[in-house]
Amino acid sequence: MKNLRLGLLGCGPIAQFAHLPALEKARGVELVALCDASSNLLHRIGARYGITELYTSYSHFLESDIEAVLIAVADPFHVPLATQAIEAGKHVLVEKPLGITAEECLHLSETVSGSVCKLQVGSMKRHDPGIEFAKKFIEEKIGEIVSVKGWYQDTSFRPALQETLLPMVQSAEGIVRPEADPKADKEKYFMATHGSHLFDNIRYLGGEVEALNTRFVQKSDQYCWQGLLEFDHGGIGQFDLTVKVHSDWSEGYEIQGEGGAVLIKTFLPFYYRPSEVRAFERSTEQWHTPLGAHSNPYKRQLEFFAKAIREDLPTNPDVFDGLRVLEIIEAAEASVRSGERVEIARGPTEVG
């Protein structure tokens, strides 16, 4: 099996926490080049991982013989840099959220549609073995979906958890930052960075969201969104996104259908634990509980990406899934502003 020759763009925290350790172990993928604006950081990370093809110029990086690019830089750079890579004939795995606005993501989807290159969004929770089991069970066993619940509560203890679980981050001078700090508007930033996971899984497990009604409250350093969801299959749902809770991390999903139910508990990603799933099948009156070994969803998404390229399969999630998440986020923000129900504008749904 030929390895996918991949280059990593961005050597910052998410690359050091997640992508570089995953790339060391991912089957079918070979990290052959690094690109970062900071020469100092670039050479230190290159030495750590034994990578000698080092670039501070993105255009020179794209001119190399890499087949694919993993984009792990600040959110405002995702769409322009992914567009450049696709136009240069490179496949792209880009961190979530896909972009800052649905409009720019729509333009990117058009670029991808006009290319032979593939794009996958780094919503790695789709590659959690528990989520994979739940998805298959929902499709095969529970029939028409009646209701969907999703919650994502980031803990105020995250800094201490990350300090305990993750390696020290190497930083350097010369880092390129967006003109406007995307983290300055915390309400918008938290909705984008955490909501992108929540809404992607709600769509993946529960179906297409057609409309929502959202409320938001901020108290001190706590931000909370709660909302009602309407799905294209006629089911309804609700979501809770809270940053930060003064308790344990809590993320989960509950899908109720005519033929059964699926209950999911998802863990902090860096525990590398598959989601705990309890699935009830009405026809047999039995609970199903898969027991999955610890696994790294960042590694699994890389392996899926490489397989999709080798075997010409659809990526998961693809550019349109990324676009759809931005459409939901923008609808939620509009609902908060108006206090009313908002229907979700939907663009194209597939390449071609």
Is the pLDDT score of 93 beyond 60?
yes
pLDDT band at 174 (very low <50, low <70, confident <90, very high): confident
Closest of 296, 349, 307, 352 to residue 327, by C-alpha: 349
Higher pLDDT, 277 or 183: 277
Question: Could you tell me if 263 and 288 lie in one domain?
Answer: yes
Q: Is a pLDDT exceeding 70 seen at residue 352? A: no
The percentage of residues in the chain with a pLDDT greater than 70, rounded to a whole number, is: 99
Do both 273 and 307 map to the same domain? no
User: 337 and 259, same structural domain?
Assistant: yes
Nearest to 99 by CA among 81, 121, 78, 118: 78
Are 333 and 305 part of one and the same domain?
no
CA proximity to 241, closest of 203, 268, 214: 214
Does residue 349 fall inside a structural domain? no
pLDDT in tens, 29-77: 999 999 999 999 999 999 999 999 999 999 999 999 999 999 999 999 9
- Within this chain, do residues 278 and 154 fall inside the same structural domain, yes or no? yes
pLDDT at position 78: 99
94 and 182 fall within a common domain: no
pLDDT at 351: 55
- For residue 291, is pLDDT > 90? no
Q: Are residues 168 and 109 in the same domain?
A: no
Identify whether 321 is part of a domain: no
Owner of token pair 């502003």 = 337
The CATH number of the domain where 286 resides is what?
3.30.360.10
Q: What percent of the chain has pLDDT over 90?
A: 91
Distance between CA atoms of 56 and 87, rounded to whole angstroms? 19
Asked whether residue 336 falls in the same domain as residue 242, the answer is yes
| pLDDT for the residue numbered 173 | 77
In the chain, what is the greatest distance between 2 CA atoms, to the nearest angstrom?
61
**Rounded-to-integer distance, Cα 116 and Cα 154, Å:** 38
Structural domain contains residue 337: yes
pLDDT of residue 1: 75
Instruction: Please report, for the domain that includes residue 49, its CATH number.
Output: 3.40.50.720
Question: Would you state the pLDDT for residue 334?
Answer: 98
Confidence of residue 172 (pLDDT cuts 50, 70, 90): confident
With 70 as the cut, is the pLDDT of residue 19 above it? yes
Q: Is pLDDT at 294 greater than 60 in this prediction?
A: yes
Q: pLDDT at residue 292 above 90? A: no
Assigned domain for 350 exists: no
Burial 134-152 (b: 16+ CB within 10 A, else e): bbebbeebbeebbbbbbbb
For the residues 270-296, what does the mean pLDDT come to?
Answer: 94
Q: Which one, of 69, 135, 118, lies nearest residue 313 by Cα?
A: 118
Q: Give per-residue pLDDT as tens, 216-244.
A: 999 999 999 999 999 999 999 999 999 99
| Residues 69 and 167 occupy one common structural domain | no
Please name every residue paired with 231 in a beta bridge, in sequence order, or none if there are none: 209
Q: Is residue 266 part of a domain?
A: yes
Cβ atoms of 166 and 268 within 8 Å: the answer is: no
Residue 253 above 90 pLDDT?
Answer: yes
pLDDT of residue 54: 99
Residues 26 and 73 in one domain: yes
138 and 260 in one domain? Answer: yes
Total tally of structural domains belonging to the chain: 2
Note the pLDDT of residue 187: 97
**Mean pLDDT across 256-267:** 98
pLDDT in the model for residue 348: 72
Same domain, 139 and 274: yes
Which pLDDT value is given to residue 350? 65
Is the confidence at residue 305, as pLDDT, over 60? yes
- What range defines the domain where residue 163 resides? 128-294+326-343
